[in-house]
Structure 1
Amino acid sequence: MNHNQNKRQAVVIGAGPGGLAAGMLLAGQGYKVDIYEKQAVIGGRSARLELGDYRFDRGATFLMMPHLLEEMFQKVGRSLYDYVDMQQLDPLYSLHFGDTVFRPSSDEEKTAAEIARVFPGDEQNYRNFMRVESVKYQKVEPLLRRPFGKLSDYIKQDAIKALPYLHLQDTVYGRLSRYFQDERLRWGFTFQAKYLGMSAWDCPGTFTILSYIEHHFGLHHPKGGVNQIFQAMADVIREYGGTIHTSTAVQKIQVEQGRAQGLLLENGEEVKADHVVLNGDFAASMNKLFEPGVLKKYTPEKIKDMKYSCSGAMLYLGVNKKIDLAHHSVHFAADYRKNVDEMTMHKVLSEDPSIYVHNPSVLDPTLAPEGKSSLYVLMPTPNTTADIDWDGQRAEIRQRMMDRLEQIPELAGLSDYIEEEMFFTPLQWEQELDIYNGALFNLSHKLGQMMYLRPHNRFEEVEGVYLVGGGTHPGSGLPTIFESAKISVGLIQEDDAKKQTASPLFKKGKEAGQCT
């Protein structure tokens, strides 16, 4: 195993969170790993962004469950904390409903006291929520840690035990209405459905575990931003002899007789491989990376018919002053339900949008010069299937976001302090980062696109291809994307172990080359 020529070769398409996690696990377990990334930087839609002297996370800013990450690092003989300086957030975030501000914590007693102050009468309901959801989380969590590649996976013990807790016939909002009296408090526990790019009024009731996970395990900030996690993975990959090729696009996955043989790069180079790990955006990859006719299930027509998450318009602002807002703050529309319906059902831009502001400079001095702030603003929007002229209305949409921001007391007059700025639309997510429909959170998590009905980790159409990322099981959001990498790497190892035990038989046949 120590000699390079004896190592099994795994190629990874895309250095996003899932591709880097899979690459790290494979490299640390003796595989020869090459990762090919089209962009000049690693991290995919969650890369680091630099504007002048300001640093930003381009995508994910919420980091939960670092213990799952640490588990992965330990599998390859490393510790995440040797690479990343991690800080726990308290409070988790500030949620703004007009003039009412709610600041929950991962300390249950503190949150109960805060609810008694802001939403009196609901504090015991919160305790019930945490108690009941803790049981649900314990039942559902094992299903997120294993593949759903065949129908019989539903009749395994863990799935049968979890079924009554999945609340598949209910919605996230429906479940929360059973707990909380105050409508604003319900909103405060439903906005996490946005991580799946879905409306809480539509999203399967299973996903109340998202707010439970935040409230129970807390939220963390790595110094330098969430992108530092991906930098750490890249460092470990290189320590184990793996290579990350940035600015190197893949043109095609080469398939012969239903099995992936390797890659054709856009520079014309061919790369042979035993395994292909696909971390590109699922739908975009299906349309671009296979010769026409190879895929029978995920044809362009079928891809078009699948359901996709919402998108987001983004403002990254380098601001010449300190901003007195929490690290994470969510500013709800006066009629949040209407705002969500406009985005997901009617596919129009809301007059009164909700908005999320990330102000990490409040606790991390590395992201902006002294006395200044790096602000990241996300306005959830419809994806690019909406009839919106993102280029033509660019200035108007940016202005709408600025107007919304300046209504926040702490951000009044913000325009006068902007030194650096980048405005990024759903159309840019689609065109510049190859995200199908600009759907930031990938395939939606409706019932017909969950578990066995989601594209499989061991890709069902082409042998030797394994999917990681938000477009496969268990789904979108960083913790589940990391789980997808663990699941897919486990399947690769399982498949190799089978080949090893079967190798004498193989050697007689034409497939001997695949077993050495």
Structure 2
Amino acid sequence: MKATQSARKAVIVGAGPGGLAAAMLLASHGYEVDVFEKQPVVGGRSGRLEVGKYRFDRGATFLMMPHLIEELFALSGRSLHDYVEMKELSPLYSLHFGDTVFKPSRNREDTAEQIARLFPGNEAGYYRYLEEEDVKLDKVMPLLRRPFSNLLDYVRSDVIRALPKLHLNDTVYGRLSKYFDDERLKQAFTFQSKYLGMSAWDCPGTFTILSYLEHRYGLFHPTGGIHAVFEAMAKVISEHGGRVHTSRGVQRILTENGKATGVVLEDGEHLLADRVVINADFATAMNRLFEPGVLRKYAPERIAAKTYSCSAAMLYLGVDGEIDLDHHSVHFSEDYHRYVDEVTRFKTLSDDPSLYVHNPSRLDKTMAPAGKSALYLLMPTPNLTGETDWEAKREAVKEQMLNRAEQIPQLRGLRDRIEEMQFFTPLDWERQLDVYQGAVFNLTHNLGQMMAFRPHNQFEEVENVWLVGGGTHPGSGLPTIFESARISTALIFKQDGVSHTHSADAGTVLAGAEPS
């Protein structure tokens, strides 16, 4: 696995999931690796947050398709399970539609029985959905494990085979309407479009696969939180001789004659490198990391013209006592379609929001002191391209979220139990974590920003630069972010002539693998 030539130097800009994955692979294959992270913790927008004695995952709150991260560790000569304890969630989550509560799981018979009881007549559609999505998975996933560098990539055989299953001319909501006639059940299988920061009524039909992946592979909680995985990744990098520098940001990428030669750190230090991997927020990186005039395709005006995901207002609460809610619960607004349109299309605040509640303390006692709960509330909101004055509306939105939470029977009287609180708005995402326009799910996944039309893994404008993270192919979400790192590092290895370990055929792995 190790490179036989003298070690090449690689600098990773940002210690988010993609940057850590790339650093693991490069360090384990003989590269001299330095990762520079502006924040004091690793994990990027999904890093660890401590509020008093309570611990939170700032962003992502579950791990999907755990075999992908298991593969990353294996390719780095390690086992994930030597570092992190994984717990499967059953049910996947509880979905609350007024007084109706649906708790799907990987147990298909139990889920079908619930559907028959709560949404009579839809159980056959559920089985048909699973069967048809299984075929789609086999066709689609190989496309997410290789680069798309130009339009010729669309005439390769795997694309031609997959095209009829991509449902590019339909939407997620449109596809699910072919299986279910109950609006609540459609919502139960389409709300996952929010993982991409999009509306199910606009999101390409390809992404019906998101809910299927949950039902097939399950959802997992690492003891200690998602950030425990990122901290384990940083440890593996260190074990292979790499260095992860927190609280040290990169100010600029050095270029000469169209090639990157290294970086300038925020403290003024210059560091030369053979390879530069960018894991910073894509739009922010394009606007800040290159000297004016270096970029043309991704010049500021072109960055501003792209479309971006919605944002989110977040409440992190340290609460006295235990809470009788499942690990994940979604509490849908009365008029969900209207709410989604307000957030994504009209970009206005809604008076009827949905609320996501993460209650990890029910399963993981490391997140809060004994007898207490670390509670995380998320309300999707417009990004900063909307007209909301977040400084003026900050307190009102926080109160709205608390009011909405107290409508949930298990959270009545919540205010009286709060011991610690931190509130995060789209403006905080931009100012504190450099998330462009507060768009926490990055570039949207419309047809003009997918595959070859998404920023390429091997950066088009400057040589010796590669991209990883949600702003490049394959896209947003932890599984695809991990895959972006595998694609980009494979391109680096190919360019450098470095022998590296390959896993089994991608289609076979993703169609047949089950979590260990």
Alpha-carbon distance change, 19 to 149 in structure 1, aligned in 2, over 3 angstroms: same
CA distance in 2, matches of 1:206, 1:277: 29
Amino acid at match of 1:158: D
Check the 8 A contact 2:469/2:475 in 1, yes or no: yes
Distance 1:316 1:258, change over 3 A: same
Change (3 A) 1:475 1:445: same
Check if 1:209 corresponds to 2:206: no
What are the Cα deviations for residues 334-373 of structure 1, in whole angstroms up to 9, with x where unaligned? 0000000000011111101001000000110111111110
- Does 1:378 pair with 2:378? yes
Deviation at 1:107, TM superposition (A): 1.5
Please state if 1:7 is matched with 2:7: yes
Give the superposition deviation at 1:386.
Answer: 0.9
CA pair 28-444 structure 1, distance change in 2 beyond 3 A: same
Is 1:294 aligned to residue 282 of structure 2?
no
Match of 1:142 in 2: 142
Q: CA deviation at 1:62?
A: 2.3
Q: In the alignment, does 2:67 pair up with 1:49?
A: no
Preserved contact between residue 87 and residue 221 of structure 2 (Cα < 8 Å): yes
Q: Aligned partners of 2:493, 2:2: CA distance in 1, in Å?
A: 17
One-letter identity of the residue aligned with 2:178: R
SS at match of 1:367: coil
Query: Secondary structure of the equivalent of 1:178?
Result: coil
Give the Å deviation of 1:181: 1.2
- TM-superposed CA distance for 1:2, in Å, is 7.7
* Number of residues of Structure 1 aligned to a counterpart in Structure 2: 499
Distance in 1 between residues matched to 2:2 and 2:347, nearest whole Å = 55
State the Cα deviation string for residues 33-64 of structure 1 (Å, max 9, x = none). 00000111111000011111111000001211
Indicate conservation of the 8 Å contact 2:3/2:30, yes or no.
no
Partner residue of 2:132?
Answer: 132
Aligned position for 1:504: none
Q: Percent identity?
A: 65
Matched with 1:81 is 81
Partner of 1:506: none
In structure 1, the gaps of 5 or more residues are 500-516
| CA deviation after TM superposition for structure 1 residue 5, in Å | 9.3
Contact 1:13 1:36 in 2 (8 A): yes
Q: How do 1:460-479 and structure 2 match up within 5 A? A: 460-479=460-479
Residue 47 to residue 170, structure 1, CA distance change in 2 (3 Å):
same
Matched letter for residue 150 of structure 1: N
Looking at structure 2, the residues matched to 205 and 443 of structure 1 have their Cα atoms a distance apart, in angstroms, of 17
1: distance between equivalents of 2:63 and 2:251?
33
Contact 1:102 1:114 in 2 (8 A): yes
Further displaced range: 5-14 or 43-52: 5-14
* 2:178 alignment partner, SS class: helix
The match for 1:177 is 177
Moved over 3 A (4+): 1-5
Q: Compute the displacement of 1:447 (Å).
A: 0.3
Task: Give the C-alpha shift of residue 17 in structure 1.
Answer: 0.6
Matched residues in 2 for 1:276 and 1:270: separation?
13
Counterpart of 1:225? 225
Aligned to 2:503: none
Offset from partner CA, 1:49-91 (integer Å, 9 cap, x none): 1111111000001211110110111111111011000000110
Distance 1:498 1:370, change over 3 A: closer
User: For residues 324 and 4 of structure 1, what CA distance do their matches in structure 2 show?
Assistant: 56
Does the CA contact (< 8 Å) of 1:339 and 1:352 recur in 2?
A: yes
Who is 1:200 aligned against?
200
Bigger mean CA deviation after superposition, 32-41 or 109-118 = 109-118
Distance (Å, rounded) in 1 between the aligned partners of 2:84 and 2:222: 6
Aligned partner of 2:123 in structure 1 is 123
**Structure 2: gaps of 5 or more residues:** 500-516
* Matched residue, 1:450: 450
Deviations 1:439-475 (A, max 9, x none): 0000000000000000000001111000000000000
Output the amino acid matched with 2:137. Y
For residue 253 of structure 1, give the secondary structure of its aligned residue in structure 2.
strand
CA contact (8 A) 1:317 1:420 kept: yes
Q: Which residue of 2 aligns with 1:485?
A: 485
Question: Quick check: 1:4–1:32 contact (8 Å CA) kept in 2?
Answer: no
The residue that corresponds to 2:513 in the other structure is none
TM-score, normalising length from structure 1? Answer: 0.95
Deviation string 1:124-147 (CA, Å, 9 cap, x unpaired) is 110000000000011000000000
Q: Secondary structure at the match of 1:236?
A: helix
State the alpha-carbon separation in 2 of the partners of residues 232 and 6 from structure 1: 27
> For residues 5 and 457 of structure 2, what CA distance do their matches in structure 1 show?
27
Deviation per residue, 1:261-314 (Å, 9 max, x gap): 000111111111110000000000000000011101001000000000000000
User: Cα–Cα, structure 1 residues 412 and 327, in superposed 2: closer, same or farther, change >3 Å?
Assistant: same
The answer to whether the Cα contact below 8 Å between 2:384 and 2:438 also exists between their aligned partners in 1 is yes
Pair 1:4–1:48, CA change in 2 (3 A): farther
Contact 2:263 / 2:270 at 8 angstroms: preserved in 1?
yes
Q: Deviations over 1:222-269 (max 9, x none)?
A: 000011110110010000010011111111101111110000111111
